[in-house]
Structure 1
Amino acid sequence: MSDWSVWMGLPLWVWLFVLPTALVVLCAIRPETAQHLLSPVWSLLDRLYLLSGAISAVFLVLILVIIVLQMMARWSSIAFPGSTEFAGYAMAATSFFALAYALNRGAHIRVSIFLNLNPFTHRWLDLFATLIAAITATYFARYAVKTNLFSKILNDRTQGQDMVPEWLLSVFAMVRTAPGQWGDLWAQTGSEWVFTPVWLPQLPMSIGTILLAVALWDNLTRMAATGQSRIRSEAVE
């Protein structure tokens, strides 16, 4: 049984794979028009990648803060339940939010021995490799989101000692709730602490993989339209 549901009149696989590939082909056929139409989108995406890198840096600092608090709690004989789990969540968020930003900074491992043979092989092999990477990342993003949804449906909770305030869950619930129902939502929200739902630390995985897939398709359109990759290495040789 296929679970590629229909969305806005088309199967999901068409939206995720066929239409982005068709856009890349159109960029290759009409590069001038594509550059004119997509330049504002490219500029917006560049800011989005930078924002994801900044969020990744915030979570990296948060790891340091948690470690320092762990040390202070140990020295003062104060319990800090769930600190190990929260540090792990922050580490996962750091990794996934940094994926798209790191890609465009050349921080991902890329084997370029065949790309450097001549300009012809560089262009077409780079396009082919990026296409395979974009398809793979899109699959990853799709199933990351699916895992997130299943965790929410099953109400899966952490097996550790970490707990979060109930109001924090209500903040996220507002996204999928109509504004007219926000009053009832907060009326049912208590002040208790509850064990962390698994979908909450899984959110950065879903967001990060989606951004990575978007960044790869974005790079494909830029290479097809301009002949140059957005990926720039910051390594000093």
Structure 2
Amino acid sequence: MRGFLDRLYNAAGYAAAFFMVVTLLMVVAGIADRALAFGWRGTDMYAGYAMAACGFLALAHTFKRGEHIRVTLLLQASSARVKRLLEIWSLFAATMLSGALAFYAIRLTYQSWDFHDISTGNDATPLWIPQIGMAIGATVLFIALLDDLVLELRGKRVVHSSGEMLRNE
């Protein structure tokens, strides 16, 4: 199971990187269109869709690598028992909130598909297509947080530190 979950988080990270490149390509295409009048429509909308997919798909991968911002001032000043209770409480709250986000993202995507909702821009893209990235990213984040909550409850969680504080001046 651990191998599957790690592959899931890595796959989401690779998908986020792919959509980051797509964002770049759409921005460059938009610039080229303005300069050379190719007549390409919707490049700015597609760049926005790709940027949203990139952001949501990167959440779980970033979380599992310890790269999310954590305020550890209170944790550092706490005893081991209090620190563990705060970690469990934080992970539980984050899991519940991300579960709600995933549920409503999936629901929004389904409703956009069911109502045949399309973009109001000149691209007329069915909105369920770009919303899939948000729904998948939110769901994988929920799985990652639930995974860490279970590991913390079992006493097997390893908190990764990014080392970013070491690079600050």
Match of 2:33 among 48, 73, 96: 73
CA distance in 2, matches of 1:143, 1:126: 26
CA distance in 2, matches of 1:135, 1:119: 24
In structure 2, the residue matched to 1:47 is 7
* Matched residue type, 2:57: F
Specify which structure has the higher proportion of strand: 1
Does residue 134 (structure 1) correspond to residue 95 (structure 2)? The answer is yes
Identical amino acids, percent of aligned pairs: 34
Does residue 150 (structure 1) correspond to residue 114 (structure 2)? The answer is no
CA distance in 1, matches of 2:20, 2:91: 28
What does 1:4-153 align with in structure 2 at a 5 Å threshold? 41-116=1-76, 117-153=78-114
How much has 1:227 moved relative to structure 2?
A: 4.0
> Considering only aligned residues, what root-mean-square deviation do their CA atoms show, in Å?
1.3
CA distance in 1, matches of 2:7, 2:82: 31
Any unmatched runs of 5+ in structure 2? none
How much has 1:113 moved relative to structure 2?
A: 1.9
Computing the radius of gyration from Cα coordinates, the structure with the larger value is 1
In structure 2, the residue matched to 1:234 is 162
CA distance in 1, matches of 2:36, 2:107: 43
In structure 2, the residue matched to 1:222 is 151
Any unmatched runs of 5+ in structure 1? 1-40, 163-194
How much has 1:129 moved relative to structure 2?
A: 0.7
CA distance in 2, matches of 1:99, 1:65: 22
Runs of 4+ in 1 over 3 A off after TM superposition: none
Instruction: Give the TM-score of the pair, scaled to structure 1.
Output: 0.66
* Matched residue type, 2:93: I
After superposition, the Cα gap between the structure-2 partners of 1:122 and 1:227, relative to the gap in structure 1 and judged at 3 Å, is farther
